[in-house]
Amino acid sequence: MLLPKSNTPRWVVMALDIFLSLLALFFAYLIRFDLRAEEELILEEWAILSKSLGIYIVVKFLIFYGFKIHKGLVRHTSTEDFRRILIATFSSSIAFAILGVLRSQFYDGFYLIPTSVLLIEFLASTALLVGMRFAIKLLYLESMKNKEIDDHVLIYGAGISGLMTKRTMEKDLTVSRKLVGFIDDNKKLSGNRVEGVNIFHSDQLEKLIRSEAITLLIIAIQQPDSENRKRVVEMCLEHNVEVQKVPSTKSWINGEFSTKQIAKIKIDDLLGRKAISLDEKRIEGELKDEVILVTGAAGSIGSGMVRQIAKYQPKRLILLDQAESPLYDVQNELLNDNPNLNFEVVIGDIRSYDRMKNLFETFKPRYVFHAAAYKHVPMMENNPSEAVLTNVLGTRNLVDLSGSNSVHKFVMVSTDKAVNPTNVMGASKRIAEIYAQSANEQGKTKYITTRFGNVLGSNGSVIPLFQRQIDQGGPITVTDERVTRFFMTIPEACQLVLEAGTMGEGGEIFVFDMGESVKIIDLAKKMIKLSGLELGKDIQIKITGLRPGEKLYEELLAKDENTLPTHHPQILRAKTRVEEGEQIQRINDLVDLFKEQDNNAIVGQMKQIVPEFISNNSDFEKLDK
């Protein structure tokens, strides 16, 4: 231990400051005489200075005391302390200059301190006072460091955020980490240094992990290329290197953050893809100053749509949902983040025609984004009447009212489970698609359908479930080792819905590029590693078998569908078969069956409407025979 941890008495600090000032004065005289002088000259200068020395000490003491430069904790010296010392030494020099003029004019004709000495003394005393404090601070920090290294660290990103991460690590005395270097995707930075720390190209990561025994990588790039980030993270997981990331700059306090805010990376960061490029002007041209209704506004997609639409300054944004508490949370978020947004919160059920009629007649929306739906496959398999009531009847209410109230565009959020459905939920969404498409030819309202796969982090999705199971110590339950799914983030899905909705001319089903499908069991294994756990030792994976209605593989297109490109590379237009007019009567008959509460009759009618609906691992398989 180089320094005591207790605070130094303030009088000791003041005495040291005065001593260093006298040392600076002595040094200034040495410089003035070029480090040599005759004895006679020295005695002559001392005769003049001796009458001033007491005044020098008193002035220094009073000014230092006045600016309280002795009050700051030396071991925690900051730029604010430097500023205060600079002002104090400069004020002292000004005071000496004024007193020197007074002495020269009214006392003995000599200045208090020669001008050249005064200038050198100012520079020297400032340097000594500041240097002493920072020297003690460095010694203190060194003495507090734990000599045992817990982690060998790489920082991914050699920019401003990476530099801030390095400095934050160095300030935190509670952890013992050795910074090996930075890695960066920019090849031009490779071989350079940042504050004495080497920068390597990210292609050298595996070599560094092996040669430097890297145990921790911190992602400090605020908006990294998703493919590069995925490659880096998966390399770390392969070699059991923990991965953490720096928080968004929005959460930094006064431009700084704490090492406690550096969090483990999430699985979303591995599945997310390149940022979507939107036609912002086109979207704004459509939505600005318009009345817009979002159904299911408290849900994952609905609330995401609300956040996206709020940026385009609608005339009024209507938030509709029957879930009171989640809708209350969305309302509070909007009040906090968008204080100038004109919005209305409506508690209501899309299944109630009269409630929806009143809503349309009161607010007269020009755009409807329909995200309200029941979506959980096993639950709808056990409750087909409710799936029909919400997903079919609710959609029919909104479609009909949009047409009769001159809505410009009706954009429906559908699902990949509507393609060759194997369950009640998927079939109910396909029936809703059929009804919306058929209405497109009946009036001026343009009906558009958007279809995509699983959404990361949405309510009830697999990732929050896996995370809860990991937090509880396992096991993680996977239905089948072969199950694969497409994934998309909530912002991605909402952005593409907006883009498709504004480009659509009516009658289209837009299919989103979901990237590569992901094996659910691989997803579980990666989440285990990201949590710092070891499969088979800390946590287990349990295979439970397919749930009723569940598919092994999801599809975005039916067998008799193909796609056409659009102006957006991540949005394709599905070419779907033309439904016969009698289908609408069958849909109306299906809704009427709700009153009988006969599940077999309801599902049987659904299979009549959607011939490709073949049940899987379900009690309703008997209806396919």
- Catalytic site positions: 417
Element (H, E) at 452: strand 446-452
Mutual orientation of helices 462-471 and 520-530 as an angle, nearest 10°? Answer: 40
Burial of 379: CB neighbours in 10 Å, binned 0-12, 13-18, 19+:
middle
> In which order are the strands placed within the sheet that holds 446-452?
343-347, 316-321, 291-295, 367-370, 409-415, 446-452, 509-512, 571-575, 562-565
Other C-beta atoms lying within 10 Å of the C-beta of residue 36: 7
CB 294 within 8 A of CB 306: yes
Q: Is 429 helix (H, G, I), strand (E, B) or coil?
A: helix
* Residue of 411, 378, 427, 171 lying closest to 308 (CA atoms): 411
388 backbone φψ class: left, alpha, beta (φ>0; ψ -120 to 50): alpha
* Residue of 161, 327, 322, 310 lying closest to 246 (CA atoms): 161
Other C-beta atoms lying within 10 Å of the C-beta of residue 565: 9
Q: What angle do CA 390, 393, 398 make, to 5 degrees?
A: 95
CB 128 within 8 A of CB 89: no
DSSP state of 266: P
**What are the φ and ψ backbone dihedral angles of 223, each rounded to 5 degrees?**
-135, 75
Other C-beta atoms lying within 10 Å of the C-beta of residue 51: 14
DSSP state of 528: H
CB 141 within 8 A of CB 173: yes
User: What gap in Å lies between CA 252 and CA 596, rounded to an integer?
Assistant: 58
Rg (CA), the chain: 36
409 backbone φψ class: left, alpha, beta (φ>0; ψ -120 to 50): beta
Q: Is 555 helix (H, G, I), strand (E, B) or coil?
A: coil
Query: What is the distance of C-alpha 500 from the center of its chain?
Result: 25
User: What gap in Å lies between CA 367 and CA 457, rounded to an integer?
Assistant: 27
Report the Cα–Cα distance between both ends of the chain, in Å, rounded. Answer: 83
User: What gap in Å lies between CA 439 and CA 317, rounded to an integer?
Assistant: 24
* Residue of 293, 330, 539, 561 lying closest to 437 (CA atoms): 561
CB 406 within 8 A of CB 360: no
Q: Tell me if the bond preceding 475 is cis, omega within 30° of 0.
A: yes
Half-sphere exposure of 586 (CA within 13 A, CB side): 22
What's the token pair of residue 612? 């490709």
CB 287 within 8 A of CB 281: no
